[in-house]
A and B are shown apart, each in its own frame.
Chain A
């Protein structure tokens, strides 16, 4: 059974940093691209970032480019998102998702999400 479990969320002040983790199980982690998606309160889904199965290619939405860094650790079957220079409008539930063999395409499994409130 494919499982994705996010952790690392919590209240952070504007300008602060946070690292999200997503523990994956039930599939060959290194074979799949992975994606982070967020959802601000009362809003729709917004693609944030993705990483190829090999980890050699990363992709970012313009809204987070230069502030967020996606990475993965194959030995731990874990996806990460380092978030720096956080802003109030980064407040959202963050979801990790499996997103296709090798390169990011469709999102076919989702985690339960983790809340990241950014507020002073």
Chain B
């Protein structure tokens, strides 16, 4: 079964870096994913597509501070030089033969 697992929460200080993790279920480590950002009281926004080899393609207007990487079944979103405006819930998303799947989301707090 295709499942994405994310930690419910993360926090980091203003100006620091943070790495969020999305873990693919067993047997799906070759899958690519997408990262999405949802600001408070807003709709989701596509950030990037992230492949299993770590290559990634960002969406329109996504700052250079956002980057992606991969290792085995884990997919990462790294945000550097954290700003208060980065405080949001971050979702990973993938797809199978006849299904699309979301992780539970990670709520990022900027201290």
Chain A residues in 8 Å Cβ range of B101: 47
CA distance A106 to B100 in the complex (A): 8
The number of chain B residues with a CB under 8 A from chain A is 23
By secondary structure, the A interface counts as: strand
Q: Which residues from B are CB-within-8-Å of A97?
A: 44
Query: Chain B contacts of A37 at CB under 8 A?
Result: 44, 102
In the complex, the number of residue pairs spanning A and B with C-beta atoms less than 8 Å apart equals 62
- A109's closest neighbor in chain B, by CB? B46
The answer to whether B99 touches A113, judged by C-beta atoms less than 8 angstroms apart, is no
Chain A residues with a Cβ closer than 8 Å to the other chain, count: 24
8 Å CB interface, B87-111 against A: 89, 91, 93, 95, 98-105
Cα distance A99–B43 when bound, in Å? 16
**A105 and B34 alpha carbons, distance in the complex (Å):** 9
A104 CB contact (under 8 Å) in B38, B49, B95, B104: B95
Judged by a CB distance under 8 angstroms, whether B59 is at the interface is yes
Q: Is B75 an interface residue (CB 8 A)?
A: no
| A9 in the interface (beta carbon within 8 A) | no
Distance in angstroms between the alpha carbons of A44 and B95 in the assembled complex: 17
Cβ of A95 to closest chain B Cβ, rounded Å: 6
Q: Of all chain A residues, which has the CB nearest B47?
A: A108
Contacts of A112 in B (CB 8 A): 43
Q: Which of A45, A100, A104 contacts B105 (CB 8 A)?
A: A45
Given contacts A107-B34, A107-B36, A108-B59, contact A44 B46 (CB under 8 A): no
A positions within 8 Å CB-CB of B = 35, 37, 44-47, 50, 59, 61, 93, 95, 97, 99-100, 104-113
